[in-house]
Structures are given as C-alpha cells and as structure tokens.
C-alpha cells in the first residue's frame, strides 16, 4: 500500500494526542503500517530544537516570533527528511501532531511574524511540503481551558488566555475554509471514540481507513 501524510491540527487540549493514539490502535489492529509523530520534534535533531524552543520557559521572550519560525522550520526539515518521508516511502501512514499550519497560526497570526516570511521560509527550508490531508480538531476555547485545568499545564502555550485560544480557533477555521477540501473539521467536543470514528470516516473517504 502507498503511504500518506496526515496531519492533526487544533488548539491546546483539543485532543490531538488522544486522537492519534486511537488512530494508531485502529491501524495496528488492521495490520496497516502507521506511525505517530509530532512537531516540533519527531527526529533526534528536531527534538533537540524542540528543547531549545520550549526553553523559553514562562515565555519571558528568549525567541522572537521571527526567530521561532526559523527554528521551527529547521526542525521541520529535519523531521521530514529523517522521519516522515522515509516512513511514507516505506508505505506507512504518518500521523503528525501539528505541522506547518501551527507555525503560521502561533508565530504569524498570534505572534506577528509576517505571513510572507513564514510561507517563504517553508518554501525554502521544507520545499513547501504540505500534508495529503489535515484533520482539524475544533473545540470552543472555554472547553479547551477546562481540559487544560484538568490535565495540568505542559508548556507555556497551555497558559494562553481565553482570547488567545479564541484567536487560534478562529484562525484554524479560516484556513480550513480556504483549504479546498484538504482540511477536515472534526467536532472535538465529542467523546474520544466518536472523534476517532469521525476521523476514520474522513480517512475512509480519502481511501485510507482499513475497516
């Protein structure tokens, strides 16, 4: 079977990691080669950059948004070269937790880096690589914040205020509306099993879900 590059996007605590776990279990149960990976990270070099990136701690501002785009793009290139492209070439479905669109939203829409710069950087550093399909986990900001309080905070992005969560959500929906079918919105307020079933239905429509 041929491989595929599937990205899961959405705000903090929208259920990306949970969905990827469910999908991997489904693919494994059906004997379909699949891997789960994440950004920033997913390869040794990119994980090293992740540590640098998150070393910003409480957001005191080690990295400007502009600098963060360069760091994240370098990490993404390494991740693509070392992990993602070889897995796809070997016929696996790659399920990636966040990708380029997260950089566009967090560093450009929220962080103020110029959109042209983010796009140009992606073109130069990552060949403009886009996923075959993006699953967008859409969740109301109040619900996301309630989950974060339950889960506990993992990094500085988890401490964003309600307005920032709302801007991230709106930006993801804008990109989905302009994606010409390459992004599928999922209602992330449903139970995890239902979110996974909806995701599998989208993947099946794409010819990718073993049943």
Residues that bind ligand ADP (CB under 6 A): 10, 12-18, 147, 150-151, 190-192, 195
Maximum Cα–Cα distance across the chain? 48
Q: Report the nearest approach of Mg ion to the CB of residue 11 (Å).
A: 11
3-state DSSP call for residue 153?
A: coil
Cα(170)–Cα(163) distance, rounded to whole angstroms? Answer: 11
Residue closer to ligand ADP (CB basis): 77 or 145: 145
**Closest residue to Mg ion in the complex (CB):** 17
Find where tokens 């996974």 sit.
196
What is the nearest approach in angstroms of Mg ion to the Cβ of residue 167?
Answer: 20
Whichever of 16 and 22 has its CB closer to Mg ion, that residue is 16
Specify the stretch interacting with Mg ion by CB under 5 A; choose among 4-12, 17-25, 133-141, 167-175. 17-25
> What is the rounded distance in angstroms from the CA atom of residue 124 to the CA atom of residue 167?
28
Q: How many CB atoms lie within 10 A of CB 190?
A: 14
Picked from Mg ion, ligand ADP, none, the partner binding residue 29 (CB below 5 to 8 A depending on kind) is none
Structure tokens that stand for 35 in this block: 């891997």
Q: Residue 17 interacts with Mg ion (CB under 5 A)?
A: yes
Q: Which residues are bridge partners to 137 per DSSP?
A: 10, 186
Residue 60 partner contact from Mg ion, ligand ADP, none using kind-dependent CB cut-offs of 5 to 8 Å: none
29 three-class SS: helix
By a kind-dependent CB cut-off of 5 to 8 A, residue 195 interacts, out of Mg ion, ligand ADP, none, with: ligand ADP
Contact 11, 164 (CB under 8 A): no
Copy the structure tokens of residue 38: 């994440």
Q: Nearest approach, Cβ of 151 to ligand ADP (angstroms)?
A: 4
Does position 64 bind Mg ion by CB under 5 A?
Answer: no
Are 103 and 72 within 8 A, CB to CB?
A: yes
42 binds, among ligand ADP, Mg ion, none (CB under 5 to 8 A by kind): none
Identify the helix (H) or strand (E) that includes residue 194.
Answer: helix 192-205
- Residue 155 near Mg ion by CB under 5 A: no
- Interface with Mg ion by CB under 5 A: which residues? 16-17
């Amino acid at each position: 079977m041929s491989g595929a590059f599937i990205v899961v996007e959405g705000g903090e605590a929208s259920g990306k990691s949970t969905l990827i776990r469910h999908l991997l279990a489904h693919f494994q149960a059906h004997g379909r080669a699949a891997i789960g990976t994440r950004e920033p990270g997913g390869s040794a070099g990119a994980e090293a950059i992740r540590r640098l990136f998150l070393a910003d701690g409480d957001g005191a501002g080690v990295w400007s948004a502009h600098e963060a785009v360069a760091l994240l793009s370098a990490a993404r290139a390494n991740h693509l070269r070392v992990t993602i492209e070889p897995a796809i070439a070997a016929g696996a479905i790659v399920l990636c937790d966040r990708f380029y669109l997260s950089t566009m939203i967090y560093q450009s829409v929220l962080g103020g880096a110029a959109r042209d710069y983010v796009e140009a950087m992606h073109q130069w550093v990552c060949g403009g690589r886009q996923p075959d399909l993006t699953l967008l986990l859409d969740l109301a900001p109040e619900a996301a914040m309630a989950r974060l309080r339950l889960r506990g905070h993992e990094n500085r992005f988890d401490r964003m205020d309600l307005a920032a969560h709302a801007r991230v959500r709106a930006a993801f929906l804008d990109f989905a509306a302009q994606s010409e079918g390459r992004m599928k919105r999922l209602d992330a307020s449903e139970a995890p099993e239902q979110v996974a079933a909806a995701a599998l239905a989208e993947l099946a429509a794409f010819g990718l879900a073993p049943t």
